[in-house]
Amino acid sequence: MRKIGPDGQLERMICNACGKKLAVRQGIVLEGAISIDHTWDYFSEKDGQVDHFDLCEECYDQLTATFKIPVETEEQTEYL
């Protein structure tokens, strides 16, 4: 769950799974987190619904550990 301030800057982020408050400074999340923004489309029971949620790194690891097919990963060599 994200809270955006009146200036458009991120003020707060809370993990939707465990409720952990993630450290945010000057609009930047200072620890591992993933944000999901997904618009459901045709052929789903949620057509037109838009979901937004955030997970801390620990909850992400717990969730993906249950996958029958592992998450594909690659190394990023340049950081922007």
pTM: predicted TM-score of the whole model, two decimal places: 0.85
- Taking only the tens place, the pLDDT of each residue in 13-40 is 999 999 999 999 999 999 999 999 999 9
DSSP for 13-78 reads EE-TTT-PEEPEETTEE-S-EEEEEEE--TTSTTTT-EEEEEEEHHHHHHHHHT-SSPPP------
- Taking only the tens place, the pLDDT of each residue in 37-78 is 999 998 899 999 999 999 999 999 999 999 999 999 999 888
Q: Where are the domains of the chain?
A: 2-62
The answer to whether the beta carbons of residues 44 and 25 sit under 8 Å apart is: no
Largest Cα–Cα distance of the chain, in whole Å? 42
